[in-house]
Every structure is written in structure tokens, then in C-alpha cells.
Amino acid sequence: MAAGGAFPVVDLAPFFAEGDSSGRARATEAVLEACRTHGCFRVVNHGVPAELMARALKLSAAFFALPDDEKARARQAEGTVAPVPAGYTRQPAHSADKREYVLVFDPKLGFNEYPTEPAGFREAVEECYAKFTELGLLLQEVLNECMGLPPGFLRDYNGDRDFDFMVAHHYFPATEEENYGLRAHEDGNCITFIIQDGVGGLEVLKDGDWIPAEPVDGSIIVNIGDVILVLSNNRLKSATHRVVRKPAHRHSLAFFLNIHGDKWIEPLPEFTTKIGEAPRYRGFVFNEYQQLRMRNKTHPPSRPEDVVHITHYAI
């Protein structure tokens, strides 16, 4: 594991080479160390074409440059039920987060109605989504080994891909008065991939300090989410991260390898009874947690300390 500044970098090339078992072992150990210390890391040589990611980001920026009435055509249809708001959404003016975004692909809903421009946006997103899914399944196997679980455990436990989704974000330029983009939070899923343009702004909390996850062409930021945190009984971290806006428009894509909403989540025996440790979380149905997180957004509590995090289930 190398470091770009203080940010962990993992080279996944050994997983795409025949017979490089020692290289795979080193990369797996690097992933484990990053998950223990940061809850996130940057991957290179990951199998997703750099040209594809650059094209998807460029077309995403072109979408957000469209007139508001054109973007509005991609809003979620009335009466649609989804775990996150589908289609085009713009944060209310009173929100602390200054961004707009579009849920560009959701297997449960199919594509939303997109404008005819920019040409190729849908195709780039679809191709990116497929590549990120492949990478997510690979890293899930790596995490399975990192956690010392029986071979294929996470693959069987999280074998339903219907709850994965990808979001395109546009963050407005910072002003002299404020630079909030996305407040500090942890992801509620299993694994998140983030690609960003050259503006940057993504930061990760480590030992009380915010570490920039600077843009590096062709690389992908990997965040570990709350599901892995709970399953590992806090052995692996869920990355606390935020976006600080710069004096420029910022664009990013985030892919969420999720888990089925009906799945029961609790610390695994490998991290509790089998080693004589008490569980740090009570069990819950995943949808229950997602609904509480969504309520944070639709009905923000008046006090920040009342926002629901995974600590809601802490013992």
C-alpha cells in the first residue's frame, strides 16, 4: 500500500494477472489495513477503463449544464417508491448541502425519462454501471478474505443486485459565505465507488483530521459502508467523509453496492461468539435503517445530534 499524501492506495493489478498469488495476498493485506485505519482507499489498475469514466463525467457535466426545464424531465414520476429519490433532484435553497443530482440508474425502476441531450449519456452510464458492478463483486470477495469469512460467504449473503444504484452529482461553486457541499456522513450500504473530476473537494476523516482524497485520473475512491462495519462488529471502519466545495463547479459519480432491503444485519459470529466478544450492535432489517436515514433528509431534525446514524443500533 502506497500513500498519496496520507491517503491509502491499493493496486488491484494482481487480481487481473494469472498466478500472482503473492501479489493478491499483498493487495488483500493493503485493503485490510486501509479498512482498519481509514474505512476507504484509492484503487488503481482496477479494470474500469479510464476513458469510460472520463466520458461519463463529461457527459454528466453536460447534463447538468442543460436548462432547468430540460433537467426537470428526468424527475421521478409521481407515486414512484424507491429507497432513494430517483431521477433529477435539486437540494432546497435552505439546505446546508449545495448540490443537484440525478439517480442515473436503478435496476428496480429502469432508466428515468432522460432528455435527448447530451447524446451518449445513457450509454456511458450503463457501461460504467456494469463495470462498477464487476469491480464491486471483486472487492466483496477481497473483503470476504480480509474478514476471515468462509469462502463465498459475502457473495451468498449479498447475492441480490436489485438494490444497487448509481448517482451523478453536481456541486455548485463555493461562495465567500459558505462552502458546504455534502456534510460529514457515513454510507449506509456495503461498498461505494466515487469518481470525481479535477476540481476535488472529497475529504475523509482520520483520527480527527480531514484528509483530502485528491482527484487522480483513472483512479477510484472506495468507501466501506455501515453494513460491513456492523457485520465486522467495528473491526472494519465505515468511512466518514464530506465534500467541501471549491470556487468551481464539481461533478462526480457514486456507485453503491447495496444489500437487499429485507436482509437482517447484525454482527457475525466470527466477530462475536466465536472469539468471545460481545456484539456492539443490535440486529435490524436493512430497510428499517434506510428509512430512518431517508427521514433525516425529508424531515431534518432541528438538532444535529438527533440525526440517525448507525449508532442508533449501538449496544
One-letter amino acid identity for 176?
E
Q: Are 238 and 225 in contact (CB under 8 A)?
A: yes
3-state helix, strand, coil in the chain (%, to 5): 35, 25, 40
Computed on alpha carbons and rounded to an integer, the radius of gyration of the chain in Å comes to 19
Give me the catalytic one of 99, 250, 280, 293.
250
Q: 168: closest CA among 140, 129, 219, 119?
A: 129
Q: Are 1 and 40 in contact (CB under 8 A)?
A: no
Rounded Cα distance, 134 and 214, in Å: 24
- Residue 250 a catalytic site member: yes
Query: Does residue 212 have a cis bond before it (omega within 30 degrees)?
Result: no
Active site residues: 250
